[in-house]
Structure 1
Amino acid sequence: MFYSALRWTEATQVSPFADVKPVRDKTAAWDKRSPYREEEVTALLEQADPRMKALLLLCAHGGLRISEALALEWNEVQLAAGELLVQSGKGGKARRVVVGKSLIQALETVRSEGAVIGGSYPAAVERLQRLCTRAGVPCRGYHALRHYAGTRLTREGASLDDVARHLGHSVLETARIYAKWSDEGLRRRMAGW
Protein backbone atom coordinates (compact mmCIF):
# COMPACT_ATOMS: atom_id res chain seq x y z
CA MET A 1 0.00 0.00 0.00
CA PHE A 2 2.94 2.29 0.73
CA TYR A 3 4.32 1.86 -2.80
CA SER A 4 0.82 2.24 -4.26
CA ALA A 5 0.56 5.59 -2.50
CA LEU A 6 3.98 6.63 -3.78
CA ARG A 7 3.01 5.68 -7.35
CA TRP A 8 -0.29 7.55 -6.98
CA THR A 9 1.59 10.71 -5.95
CA GLU A 10 4.00 10.04 -8.83
CA ALA A 11 6.93 9.99 -6.37
CA THR A 12 8.09 6.66 -7.85
CA GLN A 13 7.25 4.11 -10.51
CA VAL A 14 8.85 1.24 -8.59
CA SER A 15 6.66 -1.75 -7.77
CA PRO A 16 8.88 -4.15 -5.79
CA PHE A 17 6.06 -6.51 -4.74
CA ALA A 18 4.34 -6.93 -8.12
CA ASP A 19 5.50 -10.54 -8.52
CA VAL A 20 4.83 -11.62 -4.93
CA LYS A 21 1.95 -14.05 -4.62
CA PRO A 22 0.28 -14.93 -1.30
CA VAL A 23 0.73 -18.44 0.02
CA ARG A 24 -2.37 -20.48 -0.71
CA ASP A 25 -4.12 -21.79 2.39
CA LYS A 26 -4.51 -25.55 1.98
CA THR A 27 -7.23 -25.84 4.64
CA ALA A 28 -10.65 -26.05 3.02
CA ALA A 29 -12.91 -23.10 3.84
CA TRP A 30 -15.56 -25.31 5.46
CA ASP A 31 -12.97 -26.81 7.83
CA LYS A 32 -12.32 -23.35 9.26
CA ARG A 33 -16.00 -22.65 9.93
CA SER A 34 -17.28 -25.78 11.61
CA PRO A 35 -20.80 -25.80 13.07
CA TYR A 36 -21.70 -26.02 16.72
CA ARG A 37 -22.35 -29.60 17.84
CA GLU A 38 -25.75 -30.72 19.15
CA GLU A 39 -24.59 -30.80 22.79
CA GLU A 40 -23.10 -27.30 22.45
CA VAL A 41 -26.35 -25.85 21.13
CA THR A 42 -28.21 -27.58 23.97
CA ALA A 43 -25.79 -26.10 26.54
CA LEU A 44 -26.22 -22.62 25.05
CA LEU A 45 -30.01 -22.89 25.09
CA GLU A 46 -30.01 -24.04 28.72
CA GLN A 47 -28.01 -20.96 29.78
CA ALA A 48 -29.86 -18.41 27.61
CA ASP A 49 -32.51 -15.94 28.72
CA PRO A 50 -35.75 -15.97 26.66
CA ARG A 51 -34.65 -13.28 24.18
CA MET A 52 -31.25 -14.90 23.61
CA LYS A 53 -32.88 -18.31 23.29
CA ALA A 54 -35.12 -16.95 20.52
CA LEU A 55 -32.10 -15.46 18.75
CA LEU A 56 -30.14 -18.72 19.03
CA LEU A 57 -33.05 -20.70 17.62
CA LEU A 58 -33.63 -18.23 14.78
CA CYS A 59 -30.06 -18.99 13.69
CA ALA A 60 -29.71 -22.66 14.75
CA HIS A 61 -33.15 -23.90 13.66
CA GLY A 62 -34.37 -21.20 11.31
CA GLY A 63 -30.96 -21.00 9.64
CA LEU A 64 -31.09 -17.19 9.59
CA ARG A 65 -27.97 -15.10 9.19
CA ILE A 66 -27.42 -12.87 12.21
CA SER A 67 -28.28 -9.77 10.15
CA GLU A 68 -31.57 -11.40 9.12
CA ALA A 69 -32.41 -12.40 12.69
CA LEU A 70 -31.71 -8.92 14.09
CA ALA A 71 -33.75 -7.24 11.33
CA LEU A 72 -36.76 -9.58 11.65
CA GLU A 73 -40.00 -7.73 12.46
CA TRP A 74 -43.09 -9.22 14.10
CA ASN A 75 -45.22 -8.51 11.03
CA GLU A 76 -42.95 -11.00 9.17
CA VAL A 77 -43.63 -13.80 11.69
CA GLN A 78 -46.65 -16.07 11.19
CA LEU A 79 -46.56 -18.48 14.11
CA ALA A 80 -49.95 -20.03 13.28
CA ALA A 81 -48.66 -20.93 9.81
CA GLY A 82 -45.32 -22.09 11.24
CA GLU A 83 -43.25 -19.77 9.09
CA LEU A 84 -41.60 -16.42 8.87
CA LEU A 85 -40.71 -14.18 6.00
CA VAL A 86 -37.13 -12.98 5.77
CA GLN A 87 -37.43 -9.74 3.82
CA SER A 88 -33.88 -8.50 4.34
CA GLY A 89 -31.99 -11.55 3.10
CA LYS A 90 -28.57 -11.59 1.49
CA GLY A 91 -28.55 -9.66 -1.74
CA GLY A 92 -31.91 -8.11 -0.89
CA LYS A 93 -33.70 -11.41 -1.54
CA ALA A 94 -36.75 -12.43 0.46
CA ARG A 95 -37.57 -16.01 1.45
CA ARG A 96 -40.05 -17.97 3.52
CA VAL A 97 -38.61 -20.03 6.37
CA VAL A 98 -40.48 -22.94 7.92
CA VAL A 99 -40.11 -22.94 11.71
CA GLY A 100 -40.42 -25.78 14.19
CA LYS A 101 -42.16 -26.17 17.52
CA SER A 102 -39.22 -25.10 19.71
CA LEU A 103 -38.65 -21.89 17.74
CA ILE A 104 -42.37 -21.08 17.81
CA GLN A 105 -42.43 -21.53 21.60
CA ALA A 106 -39.31 -19.35 22.02
CA LEU A 107 -40.82 -16.61 19.85
CA GLU A 108 -44.11 -16.69 21.78
CA THR A 109 -42.24 -15.94 25.02
CA VAL A 110 -40.68 -12.73 23.64
CA ARG A 111 -43.64 -11.39 21.65
CA SER A 112 -43.75 -7.59 21.56
CA GLU A 113 -44.03 -4.81 18.98
CA GLY A 114 -41.55 -3.89 16.23
CA ALA A 115 -38.38 -5.95 15.97
CA VAL A 116 -38.43 -9.54 17.17
CA ILE A 117 -34.89 -9.30 18.56
CA GLY A 118 -33.46 -6.02 17.29
CA GLY A 119 -30.27 -4.50 18.61
CA SER A 120 -26.89 -4.08 17.02
CA TYR A 121 -24.51 -6.68 15.66
CA PRO A 122 -21.69 -5.81 18.11
CA ALA A 123 -24.09 -6.14 21.06
CA ALA A 124 -25.34 -9.50 19.77
CA VAL A 125 -21.75 -10.76 19.39
CA GLU A 126 -20.90 -9.66 22.91
CA ARG A 127 -23.99 -11.44 24.28
CA LEU A 128 -23.04 -14.65 22.46
CA GLN A 129 -19.46 -14.50 23.77
CA ARG A 130 -20.70 -14.08 27.35
CA LEU A 131 -23.20 -16.90 26.89
CA CYS A 132 -20.56 -19.24 25.46
CA THR A 133 -18.27 -18.51 28.41
CA ARG A 134 -21.10 -19.19 30.88
CA ALA A 135 -22.07 -22.43 29.08
CA GLY A 136 -18.47 -23.62 28.65
CA VAL A 137 -18.81 -23.74 24.86
CA PRO A 138 -16.16 -22.41 22.46
CA CYS A 139 -17.53 -19.32 20.72
CA ARG A 140 -17.68 -19.86 16.96
CA GLY A 141 -19.99 -16.94 16.19
CA TYR A 142 -23.53 -16.84 14.89
CA HIS A 143 -22.74 -18.23 11.46
CA ALA A 144 -21.74 -21.54 13.06
CA LEU A 145 -25.35 -21.76 14.31
CA ARG A 146 -26.52 -21.40 10.71
CA HIS A 147 -24.07 -24.14 9.74
CA TYR A 148 -25.57 -26.26 12.52
CA ALA A 149 -29.02 -25.87 10.91
CA GLY A 150 -27.72 -26.99 7.51
CA THR A 151 -25.77 -29.88 8.98
CA ARG A 152 -28.69 -31.08 11.07
CA LEU A 153 -31.07 -30.95 8.11
CA THR A 154 -28.60 -32.94 6.00
CA ARG A 155 -28.04 -35.50 8.79
CA GLU A 156 -31.80 -35.95 9.13
CA GLY A 157 -32.09 -36.78 5.42
CA ALA A 158 -33.20 -33.47 3.89
CA SER A 159 -32.35 -33.08 0.22
CA LEU A 160 -29.73 -30.54 -0.80
CA ASP A 161 -32.54 -28.61 -2.48
CA ASP A 162 -34.46 -28.39 0.82
CA VAL A 163 -31.32 -27.35 2.71
CA ALA A 164 -30.50 -24.67 0.12
CA ARG A 165 -34.09 -23.35 0.16
CA HIS A 166 -34.25 -23.26 3.98
CA LEU A 167 -30.96 -21.38 4.25
CA GLY A 168 -31.62 -19.12 1.28
CA HIS A 169 -28.71 -20.29 -0.87
CA SER A 170 -29.08 -19.18 -4.47
CA VAL A 171 -26.66 -21.90 -5.64
CA LEU A 172 -27.41 -25.53 -4.75
CA GLU A 173 -23.70 -26.38 -4.58
CA THR A 174 -23.33 -24.15 -1.51
CA ALA A 175 -25.47 -26.60 0.46
CA ARG A 176 -23.02 -29.45 -0.26
CA ILE A 177 -20.69 -28.33 2.54
CA TYR A 178 -23.27 -29.47 5.09
CA ALA A 179 -23.04 -33.01 3.72
CA LYS A 180 -19.32 -32.97 4.52
CA TRP A 181 -20.00 -32.09 8.16
CA SER A 182 -22.80 -34.62 8.38
CA ASP A 183 -21.15 -37.94 7.55
CA GLU A 184 -23.00 -40.06 10.14
CA GLY A 185 -25.18 -41.60 7.41
CA LEU A 186 -22.10 -42.69 5.50
CA ARG A 187 -20.56 -44.08 8.72
CA ARG A 188 -23.74 -46.13 9.38
CA ARG A 189 -23.76 -47.47 5.83
CA MET A 190 -20.07 -48.38 5.94
CA ALA A 191 -20.15 -49.95 9.43
CA GLY A 192 -21.30 -53.33 8.11
CA TRP A 193 -18.77 -53.58 5.28
Structure 2
Amino acid sequence: MTTRAAARALYKALRWAGVTALDPFSDTTAAKDRTAAWDKRQPYLEEEVQALLASRGLRDRALILLCAHGGLRIMEALALTWGDIQGNALAVRRGKGGKGRRVTCSGTLPTALEAWCEVDGTPSRQIIGASQTAARERLRALYKRANAPYRGGHAFRHYAGTRLHTTLENAARHLGHVSIETTRIYAKWVDRSLKDKLARW
Protein backbone atom coordinates (compact mmCIF):
# COMPACT_ATOMS: atom_id res chain seq x y z
CA MET A 1 0.00 0.00 0.00
CA THR A 2 2.91 2.36 0.77
CA THR A 3 4.53 1.58 -2.61
CA ARG A 4 1.24 2.31 -4.42
CA ALA A 5 0.86 5.65 -2.62
CA ALA A 6 4.42 6.62 -3.52
CA ALA A 7 3.90 5.70 -7.18
CA ARG A 8 0.67 7.73 -7.34
CA ALA A 9 2.46 10.72 -5.80
CA LEU A 10 5.26 10.38 -8.36
CA TYR A 11 2.85 10.37 -11.32
CA LYS A 12 0.96 13.30 -9.85
CA ALA A 13 4.20 15.27 -9.68
CA LEU A 14 5.09 14.26 -13.24
CA ARG A 15 1.68 15.41 -14.51
CA TRP A 16 2.06 18.70 -12.64
CA ALA A 17 5.47 19.21 -14.26
CA GLY A 18 4.00 18.48 -17.68
CA VAL A 19 6.24 15.46 -18.24
CA THR A 20 3.35 13.04 -18.72
CA ALA A 21 -0.43 12.93 -18.91
CA LEU A 22 -0.63 9.32 -17.75
CA ASP A 23 -2.50 8.36 -14.60
CA PRO A 24 -1.97 4.57 -14.41
CA PHE A 25 -3.31 4.23 -10.85
CA SER A 26 -6.59 6.13 -11.29
CA ASP A 27 -8.74 3.00 -11.33
CA THR A 28 -6.83 0.92 -8.78
CA THR A 29 -7.74 0.38 -5.14
CA ALA A 30 -5.57 -0.61 -2.22
CA ALA A 31 -5.68 -4.22 -1.08
CA LYS A 32 -7.85 -4.77 1.97
CA ASP A 33 -5.86 -5.03 5.18
CA ARG A 34 -6.56 -8.50 6.55
CA THR A 35 -4.88 -7.87 9.90
CA ALA A 36 -7.42 -7.70 12.72
CA ALA A 37 -7.66 -4.31 14.45
CA TRP A 38 -6.59 -5.75 17.82
CA ASP A 39 -3.45 -7.27 16.27
CA LYS A 40 -2.18 -3.99 14.83
CA ARG A 41 -1.50 -2.03 17.97
CA GLN A 42 -1.10 -3.91 21.21
CA PRO A 43 -1.62 -2.25 24.61
CA TYR A 44 1.15 -1.88 27.15
CA LEU A 45 1.26 -4.65 29.73
CA GLU A 46 0.72 -3.92 33.43
CA GLU A 47 4.34 -4.70 34.30
CA GLU A 48 5.60 -2.39 31.54
CA VAL A 49 3.53 0.55 32.79
CA GLN A 50 4.58 -0.09 36.40
CA ALA A 51 8.25 -0.33 35.41
CA LEU A 52 7.96 3.01 33.66
CA LEU A 53 6.30 4.64 36.66
CA ALA A 54 8.77 3.24 39.19
CA SER A 55 11.40 5.94 39.10
CA ARG A 56 10.34 8.80 36.85
CA GLY A 57 10.04 12.55 37.31
CA LEU A 58 6.80 14.16 38.43
CA ARG A 59 6.00 15.58 34.99
CA ASP A 60 6.64 12.24 33.24
CA ARG A 61 4.53 10.40 35.80
CA ALA A 62 1.65 12.85 35.31
CA LEU A 63 1.74 12.39 31.52
CA ILE A 64 1.91 8.60 31.73
CA LEU A 65 -1.03 8.40 34.13
CA LEU A 66 -3.13 10.87 32.15
CA CYS A 67 -2.81 8.49 29.21
CA ALA A 68 -2.66 5.10 30.97
CA HIS A 69 -5.30 5.72 33.67
CA GLY A 70 -7.23 8.61 32.17
CA GLY A 71 -7.27 6.92 28.78
CA LEU A 72 -6.46 10.25 27.15
CA ARG A 73 -4.96 10.55 23.70
CA ILE A 74 -1.57 12.31 23.67
CA MET A 75 -3.11 15.45 22.14
CA GLU A 76 -5.82 15.48 24.82
CA ALA A 77 -3.34 15.10 27.66
CA LEU A 78 -1.15 17.90 26.31
CA ALA A 79 -4.09 20.28 25.88
CA LEU A 80 -5.22 19.96 29.51
CA THR A 81 -4.67 22.98 31.76
CA TRP A 82 -4.65 23.00 35.54
CA GLY A 83 -8.06 24.66 35.36
CA ASP A 84 -9.44 21.56 33.62
CA ILE A 85 -9.09 19.53 36.81
CA GLN A 86 -12.56 19.46 38.36
CA GLY A 87 -12.44 17.60 41.63
CA ASN A 88 -11.92 13.93 40.82
CA ALA A 89 -12.50 14.44 37.10
CA LEU A 90 -10.87 16.01 34.06
CA ALA A 91 -12.61 18.23 31.54
CA VAL A 92 -11.32 17.23 28.11
CA ARG A 93 -12.33 20.25 26.01
CA ARG A 94 -10.67 19.37 22.70
CA GLY A 95 -10.96 15.66 22.08
CA LYS A 96 -11.04 13.77 18.79
CA GLY A 97 -13.24 15.59 16.29
CA GLY A 98 -13.32 18.63 18.56
CA LYS A 99 -15.61 16.86 21.02
CA GLY A 100 -15.39 17.41 24.76
CA ARG A 101 -15.98 14.91 27.56
CA ARG A 102 -15.58 14.47 31.29
CA VAL A 103 -13.13 11.82 32.45
CA THR A 104 -13.20 10.31 35.93
CA CYS A 105 -9.75 10.00 37.51
CA SER A 106 -8.30 6.78 38.86
CA GLY A 107 -7.26 6.69 42.52
CA THR A 108 -3.60 7.23 41.56
CA LEU A 109 -3.93 10.03 39.01
CA PRO A 110 -4.97 12.91 41.34
CA THR A 111 -2.00 12.22 43.63
CA ALA A 112 0.40 12.40 40.69
CA LEU A 113 -1.21 15.62 39.45
CA GLU A 114 -1.09 17.20 42.92
CA ALA A 115 2.62 16.39 43.24
CA TRP A 116 3.36 17.97 39.86
CA CYS A 117 1.04 20.90 40.62
CA GLU A 118 3.22 21.88 43.60
CA VAL A 119 6.04 22.43 41.13
CA ASP A 120 4.08 23.94 38.25
CA GLY A 121 0.47 24.80 39.00
CA THR A 122 -0.53 28.02 37.22
CA PRO A 123 -4.33 27.66 36.59
CA SER A 124 -4.26 28.82 32.96
CA ARG A 125 -1.13 26.88 32.14
CA GLN A 126 -1.03 23.49 30.43
CA ILE A 127 -0.32 20.61 32.80
CA ILE A 128 2.36 19.01 30.61
CA GLY A 129 3.20 21.78 28.15
CA ALA A 130 4.87 20.10 25.18
CA SER A 131 4.27 19.36 21.50
CA GLN A 132 3.01 15.92 20.46
CA THR A 133 6.33 15.18 18.79
CA ALA A 134 8.31 16.14 21.91
CA ALA A 135 6.01 14.11 24.17
CA ARG A 136 6.29 11.00 21.99
CA GLU A 137 10.06 11.31 21.81
CA ARG A 138 10.18 11.67 25.59
CA LEU A 139 8.08 8.53 26.06
CA ARG A 140 10.25 6.66 23.57
CA ALA A 141 13.35 7.64 25.55
CA LEU A 142 11.75 6.60 28.84
CA TYR A 143 10.85 3.17 27.49
CA LYS A 144 14.33 2.70 26.10
CA ARG A 145 15.78 3.56 29.49
CA ALA A 146 13.38 1.10 31.16
CA ASN A 147 14.40 -1.56 28.62
CA ALA A 148 10.77 -2.05 27.60
CA PRO A 149 9.22 -2.11 24.11
CA TYR A 150 7.84 1.23 22.94
CA ARG A 151 4.42 0.80 21.31
CA GLY A 152 3.56 4.45 20.85
CA GLY A 153 1.59 6.85 23.01
CA HIS A 154 -1.78 5.44 21.96
CA ALA A 155 -0.92 2.09 23.55
CA PHE A 156 -1.48 3.74 26.96
CA ARG A 157 -5.08 4.38 25.92
CA HIS A 158 -5.35 0.74 24.88
CA TYR A 159 -3.97 -0.22 28.31
CA ALA A 160 -6.76 1.77 29.98
CA GLY A 161 -9.31 0.03 27.76
CA THR A 162 -8.07 -3.43 28.73
CA ARG A 163 -8.30 -2.55 32.43
CA LEU A 164 -11.99 -1.69 31.98
CA HIS A 165 -12.91 -4.35 29.41
CA THR A 166 -15.20 -6.36 31.69
CA THR A 167 -17.83 -3.63 31.43
CA LEU A 168 -17.87 -2.38 27.86
CA GLU A 169 -20.24 0.48 28.69
CA ASN A 170 -17.85 1.83 31.33
CA ALA A 171 -14.86 1.49 29.02
CA ALA A 172 -16.70 3.23 26.18
CA ARG A 173 -17.73 6.11 28.44
CA HIS A 174 -14.26 6.46 29.97
CA LEU A 175 -12.55 6.50 26.57
CA GLY A 176 -15.20 8.62 24.86
CA HIS A 177 -16.10 6.06 22.19
CA VAL A 178 -19.15 6.91 20.13
CA SER A 179 -19.69 3.27 19.19
CA ILE A 180 -19.35 0.38 21.63
CA GLU A 181 -18.10 -1.72 18.72
CA THR A 182 -14.85 0.25 18.94
CA THR A 183 -14.59 -0.70 22.61
CA ARG A 184 -14.99 -4.41 21.85
CA ILE A 185 -11.45 -4.39 20.47
CA TYR A 186 -10.14 -4.06 24.04
CA ALA A 187 -11.97 -7.21 25.08
CA LYS A 188 -10.22 -9.09 22.27
CA TRP A 189 -6.80 -8.28 23.73
CA VAL A 190 -7.56 -9.78 27.11
CA ASP A 191 -9.98 -12.56 26.15
CA ARG A 192 -8.14 -15.76 27.01
CA SER A 193 -11.20 -18.03 27.06
CA LEU A 194 -10.52 -19.61 23.64
CA LYS A 195 -6.82 -19.99 24.35
CA ASP A 196 -7.51 -21.59 27.74
CA LYS A 197 -10.04 -24.03 26.27
CA LEU A 198 -7.64 -25.09 23.51
CA ALA A 199 -4.88 -25.57 26.07
CA ARG A 200 -7.01 -28.23 27.80
CA TRP A 201 -7.52 -30.30 24.64
The answer (yes or no) to whether the contact 1:152–1:182 under 8 Å persists in 2 is: no
| Whole-angstrom CA distance in 2 between matches of 1:17 and 1:86 | 42
SS in structure 2 at match of 1:97: strand
**Residue matched to 2:134:** 123
Matched, 1:99 2:105: yes
| Whole-angstrom CA distance in 2 between matches of 1:22 and 1:188 | 33
1:81-108 deviations in Å (ceiling 9; x for gaps): 3111100111111101011211011011
1:13, CA displacement in angstroms?
3.3
**Residue matched to 1:137:** 148
Q: Give the aligned length.
A: 187
Consecutive unaligned residues of structure 2, counting only runs of 5 or more, are 1-8
Change (3 A) 1:13 1:126: closer
1:47, CA displacement in angstroms?
3.0
The answer (yes or no) to whether the contact 2:37–2:185 under 8 Å persists in 1 is: no
The answer (yes or no) to whether the contact 1:47–1:131 under 8 Å persists in 2 is: no
1:118, CA displacement in angstroms?
1.4
Counterpart of 2:116, as a letter, is: V
Identity of aligned residues (%): 55
Counterpart of 2:70, as a letter, is: G
Change (3 A) 1:122 1:13: closer
Matched, 1:61 2:72: no
**Residue matched to 1:85:** 91
2:83 to 75, 78, 90: 75
The answer (yes or no) to whether the contact 1:3–1:15 under 8 Å persists in 2 is: yes
Q: How does 1:143-154 map to 2 (within 5 A)?
A: 143-154=154-165
1:5, CA displacement in angstroms?
3.6
1:109-132 deviations in Å (ceiling 9; x for gaps): 011111111111121112111110
* TM norm structure 1: 0.87
| Whole-angstrom CA distance in 2 between matches of 1:8 and 1:63 | 44
| Whole-angstrom CA distance in 1 between matches of 2:17 and 2:137 | 42
The answer (yes or no) to whether the contact 2:71–2:160 under 8 Å persists in 1 is: yes
The answer (yes or no) to whether the contact 1:150–1:163 under 8 Å persists in 2 is: yes
| Whole-angstrom CA distance in 2 between matches of 1:66 and 1:15 | 38
1:19-45 deviations in Å (ceiling 9; x for gaps): 544344322232120000000000011
